[in-house]
Amino acid sequence: MLYTLPLLASLALPQNAPSFDVHLAEAAFAEPFSGDIFVAFSENDEPRSSMHRWLGTPPLMRFHVENVAPGGSVRLSPENAAARHPSRWNEVIGKPWHIQAIARVNPVNRVAGTGEGDVYGDAVQIDYVPGAGAIELRLDHVVETQPFKQTERIRLFSFVSPSLSKFHGLQYTLNAGLMLPRNYEPDVTYPVVYSVTGFGGTHHGIHRWARRVAEGSLLDECIIVIPDASNLYGHSVFCDSDSIGPWGEALVHELIPELEEEFGGAGKDHRYVTGVSSGGWSSLWLQVAYPEEFAGCWSHVPDPIDFFDFQQINLYDPLPDGSPRNMYVDEDGNARPLARRGEEVMLTYEDFVRREHVTNPGGQIRSFEATFSPLGADGTPHRIFDVETGEIDHEAAQAWRKYDISHILLTQWDELRNSLSGKVHVYAGEVDTFYLEGAVERFQALAREAGMLDEMVVEVVPGMAHTLYNKGQEDMLETIAERWSRLGGAQ
């Protein structure tokens, strides 16, 4: 049976724009499907593998369908797409393409087309001729669980979180990859280093840690843990969120005690946290929000820690004339850059947001809103800017203050000082790829003014881009060794 998708967004398209007849294989769907179907394009590979790229992204369309029966088909037309990029079809026609259909089924996985239970079809190669009729696509392959390769030292720790399960109304599993010390003994306790990945990373990243930890390194004598911070909307950054749930609670008070009890963690006096990018923000947040639970954090090139400089954008205050600021253009009407390589702008904010709006939920900018914003009237995280115009809702952005790490440290230092002194280490790159240095520079200046820098490290590294700071890593290792020597094992 062929279903015709109702008109969702009527946008002018040339008459020769093709439609797509997508067949939902009966064996791939246990019940009528309601949700998002993507039609993805690629010039030279499987579209599913390139649809989430940040640079050089090929065309993509997202359609929302309702109650399509297993074994049925649905007709999808570009003018009915919930979102598409690029918006002009004439940028797509007249070229040979690989085209593929993908259905998002998994309720918690960030990357559509890769989550367990998602469904996709084989890519078809076409050189579209106007008037040739609908392109036939299938949804007949079900994504299986990505296996986690365990070894004598590399282990998978899976834990059903009571707090996240209650929040989401389903059994919510947290995963962590861990690497045991080289000469691990079950009856001995060890320092534990929690390393939070950047955006897009998962617990599978522990395998990369294993390859880079040299034999004889101090890290070879610690338990290394990479907790999976990913969720449907992106990166949880392990904070308790009104929209995506109590991720900080789930990690610190649920997963960590269970994991360290099983594998021999030496307790909070020898528990450390680090990370890069979104993981850099997470590590700093965990140290500040749970100051007694970690003995130190090393935050490398963190996501914005001060929302007065959110990648060069003041989210809190309108322009001097009272008009709202804009995420897409600056006060002079110039396109806001989002990423650079040296002096070359690689991405603009508007292009990036419009692209991720097609793949959402699960994009980087939407992830910030999902984490820091309350739920809106429609049951999804409240937006702080208009996707179509870029106009910022400064009133809505005020809700983000409780996650503004700079604001928290500057206004609550008297209460936090005893438990945080000497524990905070933040490193930014002077030429950060994603313009993240400004927030750290602002906090550094205000912290210096407040006399706080004698008790924390806040450094903007000359010439450094968006990467781990090796000297910061060395400082972490020296601290772990010194504390172990001075304090001994579990306290």
Domains and CATH numbers, the chain: 2-142 (2.60.40), 154-306+404-487 (3.40.50.1820)
Tokens of 409: 């440290």
The answer to whether 76 touches 90, Cβ cutoff 8 Å, is no
Pairing of strands 297-300, 271-276: parallel
- Return d(Cα 116, Cα 154) in angstroms, integer: 22
State which residues of the chain have pLDDT below 70: 1-16, 87-94, 128-132, 489-491
Contact 18, 135 (CB under 8 A): yes
Residues with Cβ within 8 Å of residue 269, at least 6 apart in sequence: 295, 483, 487, 490, 491
The residue among 171, 240, 237 whose CA lies nearest residue 198 is 237
CA distance 303 to 359: 21
Q: How far apart are CA 375 and CA 353, in angstroms?
A: 20
Q: Give the total residue count for the chain.
A: 491
Residue 421 has a CB neighbour count (10 Å cut-off) of: 14
Other Cβ atoms closer than 10 A to 180: 19
- Residue 65's pLDDT is what? 97
And the tokens for 90? 């004439």
Q: 85 pairs with which residues across the strands?
A: 60
| pLDDT, position 86 | 81
Convert the chain into a string of H (helix), E (strand) and C (coil).
CEEECCCCCCCCCCCCCCCEEEEECHHHCCCCEEEEEEEEEECCCCHHHHCCCCCCCCCEEEEEEEEECCCCEEEECHHHCCEEECCCHHHCCCCEEEEEEEECCCCCCCCCCCCCCCEECCCEEEECCCCCCCEEEEECEECCCCCCCCCCCEEEEEEECHHHHHHHCCCCEEEEEEECCCCCCCCCCECEEEEECCCCCCHHHHHHHHHHCCCCCHHHHCEEEEECCEECCEECCCCEECCCEEHHHHHHHHHHHHHHHHHCECCHHHEEEEEECHHHHHHHHHHHHCCCCCCCEEEECCCCCCCCCCCCCCCCCCCCCCCCCECCECCCCCECEEEEECCEEEEEHHHHHHHHHHHCCCCHHHHHHHHHCCECCCCCECCCECCCCCEECHHHHHHHHHHCHHHHHHHHHHHHHHHHCCCEEEEEECCCCCCCHHHHHHHHHHHHHCCCHHHCEEEEECCCCCCCCHHHHHHHHHHHHHHHHHHCCCC
Q: How far is CA 218 from CA 95, 190, 207, 423, 449, in A?
A: 54, 11, 18, 19, 36
Cα 165 to its chain centre, rounded Å, is 20
Going 204 to 205 to 206 to 207, the CA torsion angle's sign is positive
Please give the pLDDT value at position 90: 66
Segment 404-435, tens digit of pLDDT? 999 999 999 999 999 999 999 999 999 999 99
The rounded distance, in Å, linking the Cα atoms of 436 and 466 is 8
Name the region of 211 (left: φ>0; alpha: ψ -120 to 50; beta: rest). alpha
Let me know: does 339 contact 356? Beta carbons within 8 Å. no
Residue-level pLDDT at 9: 34
